[in-house]
C-alpha cells in the first residue's frame, strides 16, 4: 500500500515538474503574444506601391507583421461614405494606432477617436484642413506627413510649358471643397500669369461631377491640363489619364501614381519615401512617443516621373533636358 502510494506521489511530482518546465518554456511564446500590437490601416484602396513599402519599413524597424504586429486593413474603394464606418470599426477592434492614408481617412479617424494616435499621410495642408494645430506642434492625437507643397504648382506649369511650347490655355481640374486645392490653384494662377498662360479651372466636388467636368474640358479646347492634388481625383486617376490620351491633351499630375496608369508627367512627392517615413512615425508612437510631440514632416524631395509611352500616344516630344531631370522614366 505504502509502496503504491510512493509511486503515485512520484508520478504526481514528475507530472508537476513537467508542467512547471512547460510553463518555464512558455514565456517566449507568451512574450511574443503579449508584444503583438494591433494597428489599423485606413485608405481608399490597397495600393501595390505603398502598402508593401510600409510593411517592409516596419519590419526593418522590428515590427514584423504576424509576429510583433497585427495590421487591420480597411479600404473605402472609391466610396468615401465608408470611411467613418471603417474608422469606428478599427477603434472597436482595439487598435493602438491608426495609419490614415488619405485626407477623408484622416478626417474619419479623428472623428472616431481622440485618444488613439493617428499617423496621417495627407496630400492636403493639414493645418488648413484642421487635422493638426500646427506643423511644429501638432497637438491632439494626429501627426505624420503632409505631401502638400504649394510651390510645386509653379513647377508643374513650367513642365507643361516645356512639352507644349505654344501653351496658351490650361484646364485645371480641382476640388473646391479641398482648402489645400484653393492654395494650389492660386499658385498655379500666379505661375501661369508669369508665362502669359490663361487658366481655366474646372470643378469636381464628387464622383458625379467628373463626367460633366471632363465634358467641359473638351469644350475649352485647352492646350494642356493640370490635375491638382486631391483624394477624389487620385481615385479616378486611370479615368483621367485615359481621357487625356483619348483627347490628345498633355497633362501634368501631382503624384506618380497617375503616370503609373498612363499619365504623361507627374511632379510631386516620392510615395516610397513617404511611406517609409510613415513607418518611422508608427515606430516612435508604438515605443511610447506622444503624437502631440512629433512635428509633422514635409517631403524631403519631389520627384519627376515621365511616361514615354503616353508621350508617343499623345504625339508629344519630351525634351532631352527634361528627361535628364526625371527621377523615373516609364518606357
161 phi, psi to nearest 5 deg: -65, -35
User: Taking Cα atoms as reference points, which of 180, 140, 126, 111 lies closest to residue 296?
Assistant: 126
Note the CATH architecture for domain 152-269+302-330. Answer: 3-Layer(aba) Sandwich (3.40)
CB burial of residue 113 (10 Å; 0-12, 13-18, 19+): middle
Give the per-residue pLDDT at 7. 38
First to last CA, the chain: 89
Return the H-helix or E-strand segment holding 20.
helix 2-25
* 228 close to 258: Cβ distance less than 8 angstroms: no
User: Using CA atoms, how far apart are residues 80 and 3, in angstroms rounded to an integer?
Assistant: 77
Q: What pTM was computed for the model?
A: 0.78
SS3 at position 135:
coil
Sign of CA dihedral 286, 291, 295, 299: positive
67: its cell numbers: 509576429
User: Using CA atoms, how far apart are residues 3 and 220, in angstroms rounded to an integer?
Assistant: 104
Give the per-residue pLDDT at 231. 81
Give the per-residue pLDDT at 28. 31
Distant-in-sequence, close-in-space partners of 271: CB < 8 Å, separation ≥ 6 = 49, 50, 53, 255, 256, 257
Give the per-residue pLDDT at 25. 32
What does the pLDDT look like over 227-269, one tens digit per residue?
999 888 988 999 999 999 999 999 999 999 899 999 999 999 9
The alpha helices in 137-254, defined as continuous H runs, are 152-163, 179-194, 207-220, 231-235, 237-246
Instruction: List the domain boundaries for the chain.
Output: 35-147+271-293, 152-269+302-330
Query: Do the domains spanning 35-147+271-293 and 152-269+302-330 agree at the CATH topology level?
Result: yes
User: Using CA atoms, how far apart are residues 190 and 123, in angstroms rounded to an integer?
Assistant: 21
pLDDT by residue, tens only, the chain of 331 residues: 444 434 333 444 333 333 333 333 333 323 334 468 999 999 988 877 789 999 999 999 999 999 999 999 999 988 889 999 999 999 999 999 999 999 999 999 999 999 999 999 998 899 989 999 999 999 999 999 999 887 899 999 999 999 999 999 999 999 998 888 888 999 999 999 999 999 999 999 988 999 999 999 999 999 999 999 988 898 899 999 999 999 999 999 999 989 999 999 999 998 889 999 999 999 999 999 999 999 999 998 899 999 999 999 999 999 999 999 999 999 8
Note the CATH architecture for domain 35-147+271-293. Answer: 3-Layer(aba) Sandwich (3.40)
Give the per-residue pLDDT at 272. 87
User: Using CA atoms, how far apart are residues 202 and 218, in angstroms rounded to an integer?
Assistant: 11
Q: At what angle do helices 271-286 and 51-60 cross, to 10 degrees?
A: 40
Give the per-residue pLDDT at 47. 79
Amino acid at each position: 500500500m505504502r509502496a503504491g502510494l510512493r509511486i503515485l506521489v512520484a508520478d504526481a511530482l514528475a507530472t508537476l515538474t513537467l508542467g512547471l518546465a512547460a510553463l518555464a518554456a512558455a514565456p517566449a511564446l507568451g512574450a511574443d503574444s503579449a508584444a503583438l500590437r494591433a494597428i489599423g490601416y485606413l485608405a481608399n484602396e490597397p495600393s501595390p506601391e505603398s502598402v508593401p513599402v510600409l510593411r517592409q519599413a516596419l519590419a526593418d524597424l522590428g515590427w514584423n507583421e504576424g509576429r510583433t504586429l497585427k495590421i487591420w486593413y480597411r479600404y473605402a474603394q472609391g466610396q468615401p461614405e465608408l470611411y467613418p464606418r471603417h474608422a469606428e470599426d478599427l477603434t472597436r477592434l482595439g487598435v493602438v494606432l491608426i495609419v490614415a492614408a488619405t485626407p477623408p481617412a484622416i478626417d474619419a479617424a479623428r472623428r472616431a477617436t481622440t485618444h488613439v494616435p493617428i499617423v496621417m499621410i495627407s496630400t492636403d495642408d493639414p493645418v488648413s484642413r484642421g487635422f493638426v494645430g500646427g506643423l511644429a506642434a501638432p497637438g491632439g492625437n494626429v501627426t505624420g506627413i503632409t505631401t502638400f507643397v504649394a510651390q510645386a504648382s509653379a513647377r508643374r506649369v513650367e513642365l507643361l510649358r516645356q512639352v507644349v511650347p505654344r501653351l496658351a490655355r490650361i484646364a485645371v481640374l480641382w476640388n473646391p471643397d479641398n482648402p489645400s486645392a484653393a492654395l494650389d490653384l492660386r499658385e498655379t494662377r500666379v505661375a501661369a500669369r508669369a508665362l502669359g498662360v490663361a487658366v481655366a479651372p474646372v470643378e469636381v466636388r464628387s464622383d458625379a461631377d467628373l463626367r460633366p467636368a471632363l465634358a467641359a474640358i473638351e469644350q475649352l479646347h485647352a492646350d494642356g491640363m493640370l490635375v491638382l492634388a486631391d483624394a477624389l481625383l487620385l481615385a479616378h486617376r486611370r479615368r483621367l489619364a485615359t481621357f487625356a490620351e483619348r483627347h490628345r491633351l498633355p497633362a501634368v499630375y501631382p503624384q506618380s501614381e497617375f503616370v503609373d496608369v498612363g499619365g504623361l508627367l507627374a511632379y510631386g512627392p516620392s510615395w516610397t519615401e513617404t511611406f517609409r517615413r510613415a513607418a518611422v512615425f508608427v515606430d516612435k508612437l508604438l515605443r511610447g512617443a506622444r503624437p502631440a510631440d512629433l512635428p509633422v514632416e514635409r517631403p524631403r524631395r519631389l520627384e519627376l516621373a515621365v511616361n514615354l509611352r503616353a508621350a508617343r500616344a499623345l504625339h508629344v516630344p519630351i525634351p532631352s533636358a527634361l528627361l535628364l531631370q526625371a527621377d523615373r522614366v516609364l518606357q
